[in-house]
Amino acid sequence: MRLQAYSIRSLGLDDFSLVEPVLEAVPRELFAVPRIDKGYRAFVAGMSRMPWAMPYVCLEGGNAAAVCFLNVPQPKHLSAFLVALLARPSEAGLPLALYIRHAFWSYPLHRLFTHVPALPDSEPYRDALLGVGFKREGVLAAHVTTEGGPRDAMVVGLLRDEFMSWCATNEPSLQLP
């Protein structure tokens, strides 16, 4: 699957060196990513066993622009928690949209959602998500623990129909048949 300079593919056990720059770029308070090869392999192996987890790397040329996967606690609800690790969040709109399109194309998901901690480092993440059609759904007060004390987390969600509308307006090539 390609879009302009971007493409996506499944994350492999041997991709640590490819995705390491992305993992290093993610603020530690945003997501606790294994940052050594052994931990990464265990992480990806665990992901691969989870239903609909879809661990993927988004590539820009030969470089990783994003690592994304889903957490679907109960498939019957067709609602998946999106984890998107972005090398440069302010430029991540297209690779993110490519992954989201592939998630809706691959599975009968009704909705994606995620949480964004209210931290200065996470503002570009929030903007990237809102930029591909996610809507604000509220704030989880004081849920995030940081060295500076508790912080809020914003809840954002995206329904399948909303993403299709976003595609029609912004990136028609991503529309589903």
Positions that interact with another protein (CB under 8 A): 71, 74, 76-79, 110-111, 113, 115, 135, 137-145, 150, 155, 157, 159
For another protein, give the closer residue by CB, 131 or 157: 157
Q: Which of 158, 68, 155 is CA-nearest to residue 110?
A: 158
| Distance (Å, whole) CA 102 – CA 112 | 12
Nearest approach, Cβ of residue 140 and another protein (Å): 6
Segment 136-141 long-range contacts (CB within 8 Å, at least 24 positions apart): 137/113, 140/115
Our CB check for another protein shows the closer of 65 and 68 to be 68
Shortest distance (Å) from residue 47 CB to another protein: 14
Q: For helices 16-25 and 37-49, give the axis angle rounded to 10 degrees.
A: 100
Task: Compute and round to an integer the Cα radius of gyration of the chain.
Answer: 15
Strand ranges (E), the chain: 2-3, 6-10, 56-60, 63-71, 79-86, 111-117, 135-146, 149-159
Closest contact distance (angstroms) between CB of 157 and another protein is: 6
CB of 143 to another protein, least distance (A): 5
CB 60 → another protein: shortest distance, Å?
A: 28
Q: Are 158 and 111 in contact (CB under 8 A)?
A: yes
Task: Name the nearest CA neighbour of 67 among 82, 52, 85, 81.
Answer: 85
- Shortest separation between residue 91's beta carbon and another protein, angstroms: 26
